[in-house]
Amino acid sequence: MVGIVIVSHSNKAAQGIKELSIQMIQSPVQVIDAGGMVDGDIGTDANRIKDAIEKADDGDGVVVLVDLGSAIMSTEMAIEFLDREQRERVVIADGPILEGAIAASLQASIGGTLVQVKGAAEECREVSKL
């Protein structure tokens, strides 16, 4: 099953998004949070992200959702730390972190492929809230 990693500058935000995603799907999808720095400060840590990706990956791949620009850079660095085989199954979704995480988790829970799970997260860019 495709895993999901939530990368936020805030540990609390990443944990909250993870919690909402898990409650919405009530399925065994690996949703892993990788927010904040090891010391609790605001920021992103490539090593924490790498560890989260490895934990989320059962062989079907991992979709990573990020909050801000530097989270993308930290995630790209984390992906570079992985072995070549694993790097090929990790993608960053260009979608809103909260809605994208929930949509991706739902798609993963019904057995979606890496491409489908990433697509579900990215489709949320177009959803109007009103």
* Angle 74-31-17 from CA coordinates, rounded to 5°: 80
Neighbours of 103 (CB within 10 A): 24
Six-digit token string for 46: 């490539």
What whole-number distance in Å separates Cα of residue 57 and Cα of residue 86?
Answer: 8
Choosing from 9, 18, 48, 118, which is the catalytic residue? 9
Decide if 9 is catalytic.
yes
What whole-number distance in Å separates Cα of residue 41 and Cα of residue 69?
Answer: 17
Six-digit token string for 40: 């609790």
| Positions marked active-site | 9
